[in-house]
Amino acid sequence: MPLIIPFAAAFFVTALLYASVGFGGGSTYAALLALAGFDYRVLPVVALACNIVVVAGSSLRFARAGVTPWGGAMLLTALAAPAAFIGGLIPIGREAFLLLLGASLVLTGLTLLLPVSTDRQDRPTQLARLVPLIAPPLGLLAGLVGIGGGIFLAPLLHLTRWNGARAIAATASFFILVNSLFGLAGQIAKGGPALFAGALSEILPLLLAVAIGGQIGSLMALKLLPPRWIRWLTAALVTAVGVRLLVT
C-alpha cells in the first residue's frame, strides 16, 4: 500500500475547505487515494471514517447552539440511514465504484455552485415537502462509495427554502454524521472487522489531519475568506479531481 504520510497535507486542506462550507469531504478523500492506487475496497471505510471525524464537532456545535431543527433533521436522517447501511453491504466492482465516485465528485462541484439562501425564513416552496423522497437514494450512495450525502441534500433544502441557512447547515452536518456511521457499519459487515482494523491502522495520520483541518475550517476559514470564494475554490478542486478520476 502506498505511503500514507504524504497524503496528510492533502487531507488537511480538503477537510478545511469542506468544513468551511459545512460538509465532510468523503468523496474527495476516497478519490485522492484511488488516484494513488489504493485498494478500492478500503476507500469507503477511509472516507466514511474521515467524514465522521470532520462533522462530529460541527454537529455538536450546532446542537449546543440550538439551531438544529431536530424534527426535520431526524426525519431525513431516519429515511437515509438504513439505506446507507444497505449501500455499505452491496458488493461493487472496481470500475463501477470508480465511475460512481468520479461522477459524485463532479456533481459535488456543481452543487457547490448553486445559490445558498440567507437566514431569512422565507416561505418554503411546494417542493419542500418532497425533499424526504431524495433521502433514501442519498443514503444508499453514501454507504456505497463513502460519502455523507449532505452536500447533495443541502442545495435541495436551500432551493426549496426548507429552512434558514444555519438550520440547513446543521441538518446537513447531522445527516452526514449519521449516514457515515451507518455506511461504515455496512462496510465493516461486508468486509469483516479485519478490513476495518487493517485500514484503521494505516490511516491514523489521515484521521489526525482531517480532525485538525476540520476544526480550523469550521472555526476560522469563513472569517479569513468570503464564503462564496471558499465554495468556488472547493468546487474547482473537487471537479478537477472527479474529472481526472473519470478520465484515468
Q: What averages of pLDDT result for each successive group of 10 residues across the chain (248 residues)? A: 70 88 85 86 90 90 89 96 96 92 88 69 80 94 89 86 86 94 93 76 85 83 64 82 86
pTM: 0.88
Letter string b/e over residues 81-103, b meaning 16 or more CB atoms within 10 A of that residue's CB = bebbbbbbbeebeeeebbebbbb
Contact 44, 183 (CB under 8 A): yes
What is the residue type of 54?
V
Among residues 19, 84, 82, 83, which one has the least CA distance to residue 53?
A: 19
**Nearest CA among 13, 25, 34, 74 for reference residue 180:** 25
pLDDT of amino acid 175: 95
Domain map of the chain by residue range? 5-247
Q: What is the DSSP letter of 149?
A: S
Pairwise CA distance, residues 159 & 154, whole Å: 9
Q: Which residue has the cell 476495518?
A: 196
The predicted structure's pLDDT at residue 127: 84
- Single-letter amino acid code for the residue at 127: L
